[in-house]
Amino acid sequence: MEKENRYTFGGFDFGSQGQFHLTISAISPTKRGGTHGLQLGIDLSPEEVQELITLLLTRNVKEDN
């Protein structure tokens, strides 16, 4: 069975100071055939983007058993 992504990520640059709008979307099927949906958008400064990248690259990834 093929594993489905739980989230999709997108975004765009805007403004004169290099801001980035990060979008996170999730659609989860329910047991009764419906779906739960979520979309979150946040604006990040260049420093916050760098902090997020550093966190994602340096976090301790544990293998799923």
SS percent in the chain: helix, strand, coil, step 5: 20, 45, 35
Q: What are the backbone angles phi and psi of residue 6, rounded to the nearest 5°?
A: -80, -25
Q: What is the pLDDT of residues 17-43, one digit of tens each?
A: 999 999 999 877 777 766 778 899 999
The pLDDT confidence band at residue 6, using thresholds 50, 70 and 90, is: confident
Tokens at 18, concatenated: 């290099």
Q: Are 59 and 39 in contact (CB under 8 A)?
A: no
So where are the chain's domains? Answer: 8-58
Residue 45 DSSP SS3: coil
The pLDDT confidence band at residue 7, using thresholds 50, 70 and 90, is: confident
Q: Are 27 and 5 in contact (CB under 8 A)?
A: no
pTM, two decimal places: 0.68
Query: Which amino acid, residue 26?
Result: A
